[in-house]
């Protein structure tokens, strides 16, 4: 296979066809009334020329247009939007094929966390029994830096179950400015891993520098079209139903250059969208589709990915909340909507609301990983190490998540019901029934040695007096970070450092 296998799922269908149709209709109604608010003059013009009803909104100064989009525009857009998008990679074996009609799920990191959680394992003495000691993890939050991003990319490179990488650390080194942030973050990722790299853009004026970097890596302007080693995300809408200026510009500029882009929207049920599943899904669907329509009017045929990141709001502080079962419901339904339109889907799972790794974190993550991946999205972002409602990245938790996602991928393996497998098993059953101890152990050896069996939880503890999971995760992180780094080839690296301005000395 010349692309990553990911995991092909037989999707769980939360919505039936009728329900999908009703949500579709509801979204179409939303697009006509109230329509979307577009804070982007050029975009408003595109809509108007294509036949949408566009009126200026005086209350917003000269900056906003109300756009009512008829269904015919969507129909037209869906004819030109590619149903299949290929994301490239430094190592072509790591390419991803997103086919809107085939639910092959890939797990990736995300998003841009401000904090890194550092773990220290220290030995404590029991107060009333100084003979008794135990090792416990304690945690410290610190601001993310380029070094952390590089390390995180190296972890991602070595996580068997990480299929694509979204810069998950917000680089806050003092030398980082809005102008040099894009080139530094993309370079940090690409120089430390051979998988697909996806990110948002901070300053659209840097887009051409990032693209040039991708061209140098892929081997030229033509080669990068075949193998787009980077792609982009733009959260085009600000819920409810507003297309913002900056992210709309980003969308249009990326489209112009032909690179794949995720059109994402992330409303919060209960604050920026109805809390009802049907309400939030209808709204986010309308939001994403409005931007899909825009992209296809402006640049027909642009590769776009349906990016649904619906979240539940927490009722005590209206922060976003990822551990709520509703989060999974929202996301699963959106995946079905994307498939209804035949568009590749970017969805979300694996964030915890917990501030530290451990029980709550793993439970919440497993819940959404399992539920949402069952829906059959193409790119499942947020999957590694995210804590505290996406504010914090913890490498040790990412190590655990990698193992947990491996378990999930295993669940999706197809059952093997063939004449041959039935015959084999009947033979074994008959033989065992004739044997003195009637035990099947020796017939397990074939599968066992094919490497086909789940053997044990990777961080299993042998001790009865304390939990060692975190200590083992830390060891694994350290092991990975001691492996050789998959740097860009010397000549490619030098060319980038010479030709692309702004890459910090510490990355040279």
Partner 1 sequence: MSEQELLNELEHVILMGHINEEDEGLDGTMQGTPGTEELVKKALEEGIDPEKLLKTFGKAMEKVGEKFESGEFFLPDMMASGECVGNAMEIVEPKLAAGTSYEKGKFLIATVQGDLHDIGKNIVATMIKGAGYHVKDLGIDVPADNILEAIKEYEPNFVGLSALLTTTMTEMEQVVKRIREEGYSDIKIFIGGVPTSQEFADKIGADHHCKDAMEALNKLEKVRDAS
Per CB under 8 A, residues contacting partner 1 are 437, 439, 441-442, 444-446, 448-450
The stretches of 299-344 forming alpha helices (DSSP H) are 325-341
Please provide the size of the chain in residues. Answer: 508
Cβ(55)–Cβ(314) below 8 Å: no
Q: How far is the CB of 257 from partner 1 (least distance, A)?
A: 51
Phi, then psi, of 236 in degrees rounded to 5:
-65, -35
Q: Quick one: 271 or 458, whose CB is closer to partner 1? A: 458
Q: How far is the CB of 448 from partner 1 (least distance, A)?
A: 6
Q: How far is the CB of 447 from partner 1 (least distance, A)?
A: 8
Q: Quick one: 26 or 432, whose CB is closer to partner 1? A: 432
Burial class for 179, CB neighbours closer than 10 Å (0-12, 13-18, 19+): middle
Q: Quick one: 415 or 436, whose CB is closer to partner 1? A: 436
Cβ(182)–Cβ(190) below 8 Å: no
Q: How far is the CB of 188 from partner 1 (least distance, A)?
A: 37
How far apart CA 219 and CA 222 sit, in angstroms, is: 8
Q: Quick one: 428 or 504, whose CB is closer to partner 1? A: 428
How far apart CA 311 and CA 396 sit, in angstroms, is: 25
Q: Quick one: 194 or 458, whose CB is closer to partner 1? A: 458
The stretches of 33-139 forming alpha helices (DSSP H) are 41-50, 71-80
Q: Quick one: 1 or 455, whose CB is closer to partner 1? A: 455
CB contact set of 380 (below 8 Å; sequence gap of 6+): 105, 106, 107, 108, 347, 348, 349, 350, 369, 372, 373
Give the DSSP per-residue string, 110-137: ---BSEEEEEEEEEEEETTEEEEEEEEE
Q: How far is the CB of 461 from partner 1 (least distance, A)?
A: 17
Q: Quick one: 318 or 453, whose CB is closer to partner 1? A: 453
Cβ(388)–Cβ(348) below 8 Å: no
Q: Quick one: 407 or 428, whose CB is closer to partner 1? A: 428
Structure tokens at 479: 């092991």
Cβ(230)–Cβ(199) below 8 Å: yes
Q: Quick one: 25 or 438, whose CB is closer to partner 1? A: 438
Q: How far is the CB of 441 from partner 1 (least distance, A)?
A: 4
Q: How far is the CB of 439 from partner 1 (least distance, A)?
A: 6
Cβ(313)–Cβ(330) below 8 Å: no
Q: How far is the CB of 341 from partner 1 (least distance, A)?
A: 46
Containing H/E element for 200?
strand 196-200
| 88: helix, strand or coil | coil
Q: How far is the CB of 476 from partner 1 (least distance, A)?
A: 16
């Amino acid at each position: 296979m010349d692309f990553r296998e990911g995991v092909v799922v037989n999707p769980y269908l939360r919505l039936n066809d009728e329900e999908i149709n009703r949500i579709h209709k509801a979204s179409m109604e939303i697009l006509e009334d109230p329509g979307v608010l577009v804070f982007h003059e050029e975009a408003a013009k595109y809509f108007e020329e294509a036949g949408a009803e566009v009126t200026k909104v005086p209350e917003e100064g000269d900056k906003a247009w109300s756009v009512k989009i008829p269904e015919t525009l969507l129909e037209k857009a869906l004819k030109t939007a590619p149903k299949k998008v290929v994301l490239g990679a430094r190592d072509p074996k790591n390419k991803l094929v997103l086919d809107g009609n085939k639910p092959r799920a890939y797990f990736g990191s995300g998003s841009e966390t401000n904090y890194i959680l550092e773990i220290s394992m220290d030995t404590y003495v029991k107060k009333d029994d100084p003979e008794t000691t135990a090792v416990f993890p304690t945690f410290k939050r610190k601001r993310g830096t380029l070094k952390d991003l590089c390390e995180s990319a190296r972890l991602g490179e070595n996580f068997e179950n990480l299929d694509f990488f979204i810069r998950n650390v917000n680089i806050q080194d003092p030398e980082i400015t809005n102008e040099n942030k894009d080139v530094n973050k993309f370079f940090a990722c690409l120089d430390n891993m051979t998988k697909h790299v996806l990110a948002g853009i901070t300053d659209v004026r840097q887009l051409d520098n990032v693209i040039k970097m991708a061209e140098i890596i892929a081997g030229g302007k033509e080669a990068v079209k075949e193998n787009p080693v980077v792609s982009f995300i733009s959260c085009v809408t600000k819920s409810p139903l507003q297309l913002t200026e900056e992210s709309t510009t980003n969308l249009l500029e990326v489209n112009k250059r032909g690179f794949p882009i995720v059109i994402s929207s992330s409303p919060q049920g209960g604050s920026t969208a109805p809390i009802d599943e049907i309400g939030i899904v209808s709204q986010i669907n309308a939001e994403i589709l409005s931007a899909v329509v825009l992209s296809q009017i402006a640049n027909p045929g642009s590769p776009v990915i349906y990016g649904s990141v619906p979240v539940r709001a927490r009722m005590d502080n209206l922060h976003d909340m990822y551990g709520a079962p509703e989060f999974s419901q929202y996301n699963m339904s959106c995946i079905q909507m994307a498939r209804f339109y035949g568009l590749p889907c970017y969805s979300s799972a694996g964030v915890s609301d917990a501030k530290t790794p451990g029980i709550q974190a793993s439970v919440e993550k497993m819940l959404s990983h399992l539920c949402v991946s069952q829906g059959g999205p193409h790119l499942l972002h947020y999957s590694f190490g995210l804590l505290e409602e996406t504010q914090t990245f913890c490498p040790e938790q990412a190590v655990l998540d990698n193992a947990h996602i491996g378990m999930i991928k295993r669940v999706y393996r197809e059952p093997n019901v063939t004449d041959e497998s039935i015959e084999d098993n009947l033979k074994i059953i008959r033989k065992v029934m004739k044997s003195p101890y009637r035990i099947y152990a020796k017939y397990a050896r074939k599968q066992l040695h094919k490497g086909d069996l789940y053997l044990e939880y990777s961080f299993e503890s042998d001790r009865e007096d304390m939990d060692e999971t975190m200590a083992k995760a830390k060891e694994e992180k350290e092991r990975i970070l001691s492996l050789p780094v998959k740097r860009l080839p010397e000549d490619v690296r030098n060319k980038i450092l010479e030709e692309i301005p702004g890459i910090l000395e510490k990355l040279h």
